[in-house]
Every structure is written in structure tokens, then in C-alpha cells.
Amino acid sequence: MLQLMAVWQPGGLVRAAFSQPLVSLAIAALVAGCILLVASGRGDRESTAPPAVAARYVPEHRAAGVAAIAMIVLFATQNVVLGYIVNLSGAVAWWRHAAPLAWASLGVAVVLGLVVLRGTRPPESPTLPGTRRTWLSFGPRPGLAAGLVALIALVITTVAAGLASSPDGEGRFVWLVIPVPNEADIDPIRVVFFGWAYGIPVLVGAVLLAVVAWAALRANAVRPYVRPDTVSAEGGARRDLAQSVVHLATAGMLLALSGAWRLISDAGSGSRLTILGQNDGDPYEAAWRYAEFAVAAGWGAPALEVVAFVLLLLVSARMLRKEGVAPQSAEPEARAVEAAR
């Protein structure tokens, strides 16, 4: 009865709602819709880029958009199947946490393949020489910074959780051992935790995603322009594509991080142990010494999912542009100089 009352309290209802990733997806859809509505209200018009430029970049934008939609569908399907159809209790489903990184890597790899196969053909006419372009030339600086923060947070979380984990009977680091205070004769509580068995595949996936994203940004930047007069329009298209690549990679890392935080929260937020005939029937209170961090991770995981889904929805919306090329600025000369960097 007390448990039912706790669930129906406002805090319990909010926690129960946000324990489902699909709720985060619904909130992200509302947020992304508002962002797109505001952007359309600004009166941004499609660019009148030459057909050769539009045809060159449309497949790449569409590939990024399809990859974003696929990530959303796969993540939602995985949560529905594993949450309501398939029971994985007792299994070490490490692939569940590494899957978002694998999906993002595959999507970015497809974009990279299109850039390499279609974007490196010789230009129609020689372009003016400019400064050397690198993978940072068209990448959105705030987006790159956010992606780097997500990568660092994922690595720190994985390493810290791995160091705090303990092996099970088969030597797999999947347990968090919580001792019962002041009771040396009572076995500690062992709960499933984000240990090395989950963390190592996640670290491998994160490194692979970072490498593929870097390669895609570099290939997008260094390929030749079609003609000197299309430098400005192509610069806008390349900035859009670089932003999509960064969003895909960041979303994959955020989804993996949110899954890790959910598992850490479930395991380390606190436990009770009741032993018949001892302690006058009252339960023993046992808590991880970093329980405050586990509770904070439980509340932070839905926020990470919302941000990840918003990024993916924005990428998928970009492929709806008629020409796939960003609007040109009123100062084409300045845009041309920037694109040549």
C-alpha cells in the first residue's frame, strides 16, 4: 500500500514517466517541432543554387536524414521489444548499450562513402586556390564542442563505473557490491551494474564513431568545388552536411550515455535487505557510497535522450529541403572566403 502511494505522488509519477525512453521521444518531437516552426517563421528561403550543386549534395543530405530516422526507429523498437516482449534477465546484453554507437557509426559511414564516391570527381573548371581546408573548416564549432563533451562524459562514466564494478561467478564485471553497514557476517547486496562487461564494448564503439565522424568531416571539407562561382553555395551545403554528421555522432553518444546512466541509477541509488529472524524483522538499509551520483544520473538520463532525439529529428527534417543546400548569404564574397578555409 505504501509503495502504491509513493508511486502516485507527483515525484513518483514523474519518475515513472521518464523511466520510459519513448516518453523522451515524445517530448523531443514537441521540442523539435517548435524549433522548426520558429525557423520557418523567420522566412528563410531556399537557395537558388545551380542544378549541378544541388544534385551533388542532395544524396548526402538524404542519407544523413535516413540514418537519423533509422536510429530513432531502431532505438524505439529495441526498447519496446526488450521491455515488453523479450526477457533478458540474467543475460549480459552488452550490445544494448553499444547499439546506438554502432547505428550512428553505420549512418555516418554511409555518408562518408557517398562523399568519397561522388564528391571527389574532378571539377568542371579549375577553382581559385585557397587556404588549406581541414575537418574543422565546415564543422559547427558549438556542435563539435558539445560532441566532445558527450564523448568525454561517456568515457569518464564508463571508466568510473568499470572501476566500481565487481565480477560475477563467471568472471564478468556486471555487479555492484553494496555491503550492509556494520554487519560483517551478512553477505553484501549484489545488483546488476554498468561494469566492464558493458563498458568495454561501449568504449570501442565510441572510438569507432569518433574516427568515422572525423573521416566524414575531413572528406566533406577537402573535396574539390564544382566551379569557382559555386564556392559560396557549396560552402553552405558542406556546413549543413558537417552539422548533420556531428549531430548523428553526438546523438549516438548521448543515447549510449543515457543507457549507462539508467543502469547506474537502477543499481546504485539504494537497496534494502530483509532477513527473516534478524534485526527484529526490519530491513537493513544498504546504499552505495556514491548513491547521490546514481540518483542524479537517473534524472539526467531522460534529458540526454531528449537532446539526442531532437538532434536526430532536426537532421531528418533537413532532407526535406527542396535542394538540400543552405540559403546563401547576402555577402557571397565573405561566404566564399570562409568556405575556402
Give the model confidence (pLDDT) of 11-58 as tens digits.
555 666 666 788 899 999 999 999 988 887 765 545 555 666 777 788
| Closest alpha carbon to 256 in 311, 308, 312 | 308
pLDDT, averaged across the chain = 80
Query: 21 in a domain, yes or no?
Result: yes
> Position 329: which residue type?
S
44 φψ region: left (φ > 0), alpha (ψ -120 to 50), beta (else) = beta
Its sign, for the CA torsion 236, 241, 247, 250, is negative
Question: What is the domain extent for residue 6?
Answer: 2-42+49-123+132-325
- Tens digit of pLDDT for each residue in 49-83? 566 677 778 899 999 999 999 999 999 999 888 87
The helix/strand/coil state of 178 is strand
Q: What are phi and psi of 284, to 5 degrees?
A: -85, 135
Residue 227 has pLDDT above 50, yes or no: yes
> Position 341: which residue type?
R
Q: What is the pLDDT of residue 161?
A: 94
Query: 333 in a domain, yes or no?
Result: no
| Closest alpha carbon to 66 in 317, 308, 323, 305 | 317
Contacts of 60 (CB under 8 A, 6+ apart): 111, 114, 115, 118, 119, 241, 324
Instruction: Provide the residue count of the chain.
Output: 341
pTM: 0.84
Its sign, for the CA torsion 84, 22, 12, 158, is positive
> Position 253: which residue type?
M
| Closest alpha carbon to 231 in 126, 97, 77, 109 | 126
At 117, the pLDDT band (50, 70, 90 cuts) reads confident
Query: 339 in a domain, yes or no?
Result: no
Q: What is the pLDDT of residue 338?
A: 43
Higher-confidence position of 341 and 162: 162
Q: What is the pLDDT of residue 322?
A: 47
Distance, in Å, from the CA atom of 191 to the CA atom of 194, rounded to the nearest integer, reads 10
Query: 191 in a domain, yes or no?
Result: yes
> Position 202: which residue type?
V
Query: What cell was used for 47?
Result: 537557395
Query: 338 in a domain, yes or no?
Result: no
Distance, in Å, from the CA atom of 248 to the CA atom of 285, rounded to the nearest integer, reads 43
What's the number of domains the chain is made of?
Answer: 1
Higher-confidence position of 269 and 77: 77
Residue 8 has pLDDT above 50, yes or no: no
Contacts of 27 (CB under 8 A, 6+ apart): 306
Q: What is the pLDDT of residue 222?
A: 86
Query: 282 in a domain, yes or no?
Result: yes
The answer to whether residues 193 and 221 touch, using CB atoms and an 8 Å cutoff, is no
DSSP symbols for 77-97 = HHHHIIIII---TTS--HHHH
Query: What cell was used for 115?
Result: 562523399
281 φψ region: left (φ > 0), alpha (ψ -120 to 50), beta (else) = left
